[in-house]
Amino acid sequence: MSLYKRCLAEFIGTFWLVFGGCGSAVLAAAFTANSAKLAENTRFPLGIGLVGVSLAFGLTVLTMAYAIGHISGGHFNPAVSIGLVAAKRFPSSDLFVYIGSQIFGSVAAAGVLYFIASGKPGFTLSGTNPLATNGYGLDHSPGGYSLLACFIAELVLTFLFLLIILGATDHRAPQGFAPIAIGLGLTLIHLISIPVTNTSVNPARSLGPAMFVGSWAIQQLWLFWLAPIVGAFLAGTFYHQVFETPSSKHFSEIKD
């Protein structure tokens, strides 16, 4: 498959991850609807909550891994691409164009989401995590967690996410189930860490919304690049050194 087509697949997959995951948080997590049958201002909570948002992120990866994972490898995340390079599963020569495609996909998705969210009266970019932005500290972590706690959470969870990816796509693993394991893994990661950082484990996912929120979101963005990249690199190196076999494939492929 040509590099152009693989990068296009990465753009689409990352767009879907950010639009579907962040979109569920912004548009549906705490949704309330007016009831036309009762008093004019009566409102009923219909939001999907933390569990629903976690599941939405997992479903974006699961669905796109099956849909286009066989085209690009289904990274949709710069940290995943870096971890796969460290594990000798992905050629370093393609790394930066993959990351560029993922960034563009995230920014495009955040732009579309911002346009839709702005269609509701009263929507603003102020608050703890507008557009499902990631943050740390008392003002921007959903649970008020410290910088160090957020850094450790993102590093450890990205490390474990890469172990899931590398193990599920290993040639010795059961064939055809990798997207399910990876999607459920990402769901579990969100269930754990939405209260901590609003969950990144994906630098591109963090960058897109931050580009539109600006100010503090840009200032705190470094953590959501550094921690996932370090975690992914350590996981890729660890898996390659400890669990890989000489007959393992050199390049990643999420099998369908």
Cα separation, 37 vs 59, whole angstroms: 34
Q: What is the pLDDT along the chain (256 residues), one digit of tens a residue?
A: 899 999 999 999 999 999 999 999 999 988 766 555 444 555 556 788 999 999 999 999 999 999 999 999 999 999 999 999 999 999 999 999 999 999 999 999 999 999 999 998 888 887 667 899 999 999 999 999 999 999 999 999 999 999 999 999 999 999 999 999 999 999 999 999 999 999 999 999 999 999 999 999 999 999 999 999 999 999 999 999 999 876 554 444 443 3
Instruction: Please give the pLDDT value at position 125.
Output: 86
Strand partners, 45: 32
Instruction: Please give the pLDDT value at position 1.
Output: 85
Model-level pTM greater than 0.95?
no
- Strands, E, within the chain: which ranges? 32-34, 43-45
Instruction: Please give the pLDDT value at position 43.
Output: 59
State whether the Cα torsion 219-224-229-235 is positive or negative: positive
Instruction: Please give the pLDDT value at position 188.
Output: 98
Task: Give the C-alpha distances (Å, rounded to integers) separating 181 from 67, 163, 205.
Answer: 15, 11, 20
Cα separation, 95 vs 89, whole angstroms: 12
Instruction: Please give the pLDDT value at position 46.
Output: 73
216, 29 contact by CB (below 8 A): no
SS3 43: strand
Other residues' Cβ atoms within 10 Å of the Cβ of residue 215: 10
Task: Give the C-alpha distances (Å, rounded to integers) separating 140 from 85, 127, 135, 212, 256.
Answer: 32, 8, 5, 16, 39
